Amino acid sequence: MAVLRRKPRRAPGADDPLDAAQERRVRAVLALGGVPQADLPDGVQQVRLRLLERAAKGDEAPRDVSAWAAVVASNLAMDWHRAKRRQERIGERLASLRQLEQPSDEESSVLALAVAQGLDELPDAQRQVVVLRFYADLPVREIADELGIPEGTVKSRLHTAVRALRARLHEDEVV
C-alpha cells in the first residue's frame, strides 16, 4: 500500500507559485474530476509547472491565481480521462489482434524469408533505419541521434523502405 507523504511546507514568499489553500483547491478539483488519489501530486505539480512556465515566458500572472489553477486542474482531469480511454482502446485493439488466427509455422517461415530477402535488396541506408526501428524498436528521434541525421530523413527512409518491402511481398504473393 502506497503511503502518501505530505511535502514540507515552504516559508511564505518562497518560489512556490501555489500557496497551501490554492494547492488544496487544486487537489480537490482533481479528485472531484475523478483523478485517482495516487495521481493527485502529479496533477498539482503540473499546475505549478504551468504557472512557472507562464512566468518564464514573461506573461502576466493570472488576476485570480486560485481560479486559474482550478481551471487548469479541471482541464488536467479531463486530459487524464482521455488518456485513460485511449489506453483502454489500445488494450482492446491489442486483445483483438491476439485473438486473430496466428499463421502456421510454415507461413511464418515463408514470410520471414521473404522479408529477409526484401531487406537484402534495400539500399544500406534504408535497411539500417528499418532494422533500428522495427527490430531494435528504437524511436525515430533516437535513430536520428544515433545516425546523426535529421528525423525527417529517418522518416523518409522508413517510408520508402516499407513501401518497397510491401511491394516486394505483394509481388511474391506472400501477403
Alpha-carbon gap, residue 22 to 48, rounded angstroms:
10
pLDDT at residue 98 in the model: 64
> DSSP class of residue 133?
I
**Which of the four pLDDT bands, split at 50, 70 and 90, describes residue 14?**
low
**pTM (2 decimals)?**
0.47
Alpha-carbon gap, residue 26 to 74, rounded angstroms:
8
pLDDT digits (tens, 9 = 90+) for 37-93: 999 999 999 999 998 898 888 888 888 888 899 999 999 999 988 888 888 888 887
| Site of grid cell 512556490 | 16
b/e per residue 81-114 (b: at least 16 CB within 10 A): eeeeeeeeeeeeeeeeeeeeeeeeeeeeeeeeeb
Average of per-residue pLDDT across 86-114: 73
pLDDT digits (tens, 9 = 90+) for 144-173: 988 899 999 999 999 999 999 888 888 877
pLDDT at residue 3 in the model: 46
